[in-house]
Amino acid sequence: MSESTSRPRGLDGVVAAQTRLSHVDGQNGRLVIGGYELDELAGKTTFEQAAHLLWTGTLPTAAAAAELTREIAARRPLPAPVLALVREAVARGAPPIDALRMAASAMSLDVPNPADISPAADVANAKMLVARFPTVVAAWIRLRSGAEPIAPRADLPLAANFLHMVTGREPDPIAARALDTYWVTVIDHGMNASTFAGRVIASTRSDMISAVTGAIGALKGPLHGGAPGPVLDMLHEIGTAANCEPWVRARLAAGERIMGFGHRVYKVRDPRAQVLSRVAEQMSGAQLEDRELFDLARACEQTIVRVLDEVKPGRNLRTNVEFFTALVLQSLGLKPETFVALFACGRAAGWAAHVIEQHAEDHLIRPQSEYVGPRGLTIPG
Ligand code: COA
């Protein structure tokens, strides 16, 4: 179908909702979350504080932040049927993002009235989903390696507790901070595909759990949240900085896309890549292997952008969030197969905020399609 300004492909440039949650300035490479530039939030607020900002419109006082952290901590354990579902998913070889989608859907089982879409019910469900998602992913990681899940600890913030549930050890504060910063960095991002999917569901007056479950389904695709795993594979395959240029040229000649580059909205470097490259650099100080990978990534980034500019002139394909996400998450000892589920753990707070906003808006999102099929067919005989 041809592109025209009246029928933009993929709704490119179409405003589907007004939001107070976040603004993506693609030309200038800026991201505003609840009124704050990303750089102002990431590394300075905790994930729980950023979630409070999205759910209520303001950053919490110290007492309110402690209260929200406590409330989320109290909701971390998985009900038995949800844990059983995660076990079954692992036994059948389902990836963590699928286990998370199944588990998210089953989380309505112990909610007294899952259809309640009042503001109070929405916020309660938001806390529950954000609290439980890391527990699901940690359980998947443990079960996949043949170990039993570790019960969540209520005395740790969300990111530190996740690392505890994965390793069983006291979480390293630097690693916990890196994961926390990652989750703040990806907490919300305008009308991206999964957020739109969630808002469409919420716009029918469907509930929080249904909307967030649908959003997970949209996130898992490689054009959205599924890129960082392949980014790591790509770096390992490239192996050396000298091999980068021939590798990229060969892929582009074969018509392939380079993962971690290009964005529908950003035409300059994604500001989240900026934040996460700093985090990856800090994390790479600890181990030589990580340092080598980080140096390779920085060298490849420059080469890839240069080659993309030459092969795809005028497309302004720049580094996106997924490129450095891969480095941050692997430096935490996490495997690529878990990356998109970890993205969902952070974005869940943003999805929930959009559901709250959409429920308040209470207007059905229902676009139209342009029929391009045949007409007037008749049934023979
Ligand atoms: N590598 C190579 N070429 C790319 C590319 C990439 N990563 N991203 C876009 N292009 C090319 C397309 O092939 C197209 O070329 P053409 O005009 O010669 O046909 C042109 O750039 C425009 O692509 P288009 O698909 O219209 O852009 P989009 O806005 O729909 O795509 C993405 C945005 C993110 C889906 C796309 O850039 C992509 O696939 N990136 C790789 C996956 C990724 O990193 N995803 C994470 C996003 S945060």
Tell which atom from ligand 1 comes closest to the C-alpha of 261: 7
Residues of the chain with pLDDT > 90: what percent? 88
Question: Is residue 258 in contact with ligand 1, taking CB distance under 6 Å?
Answer: yes
The residue-averaged pLDDT of 82-105 equals: 98
Position 4 pLDDT exceeds 60: no
The residue-averaged pLDDT of 131-137 equals: 98
> Is residue 6 very low, low, confident or very high in pLDDT (cuts 50, 70, 90)?
low
The residue-averaged pLDDT of 199-204 equals: 98
What pLDDT score does 196 carry? 97
Q: Is the pTM of this model over 0.75?
A: yes
Question: Is residue 340 in contact with ligand 1, taking CB distance under 6 Å?
Answer: no
Question: Active-site residue 224, yes or no?
Answer: no
Ligand 1, atom 34, residue with closest C-alpha = 263
Q: Could you say which of 263, 281, 301, 359 is catalytic?
A: 263
Position 318 pLDDT exceeds 90: yes
Which residue, among 272, 269, 250, has the nearest Cα to 42 in the 3D structure? 272
The residue-averaged pLDDT of 84-97 equals: 98
Tell which atom from ligand 1 comes closest to the C-alpha of 264: 29
Element (H, E) at 22: strand 22-25
Position 44 pLDDT exceeds 50: yes
Collapse the DSSP code of 269 into the 3-class scheme (helix H, G, I; strand E, B; otherwise coil) and give the result. coil
Element (H, E) at 31: strand 30-33
Question: Active-site residue 164, yes or no?
Answer: no
**Is the separation of the CB atoms in 14 and 8 below 8 Å?**
yes
> Is residue 2 very low, low, confident or very high in pLDDT (cuts 50, 70, 90)?
very low
Element (H, E) at 161: helix 158-167
Distance 263 CA to ligand 1 centre (A): 6
Q: Could you say which of 48, 281, 301, 322 is catalytic?
A: 322
Question: Is residue 320 in contact with ligand 1, taking CB distance under 6 Å?
Answer: yes
Question: Is residue 223 in contact with ligand 1, taking CB distance under 6 Å?
Answer: yes
Question: Is residue 262 in contact with ligand 1, taking CB distance under 6 Å?
Answer: yes
Question: Is residue 270 in contact with ligand 1, taking CB distance under 6 Å?
Answer: no
What is the rounded CA–CA span in Å between residue 280 and residue 331?
Answer: 7
Owner of token pair 């998370």 = 100
> Is residue 12 very low, low, confident or very high in pLDDT (cuts 50, 70, 90)?
confident
What is the rounded CA–CA span in Å between residue 126 and residue 138?
Answer: 19
Position 370 pLDDT exceeds 60: yes
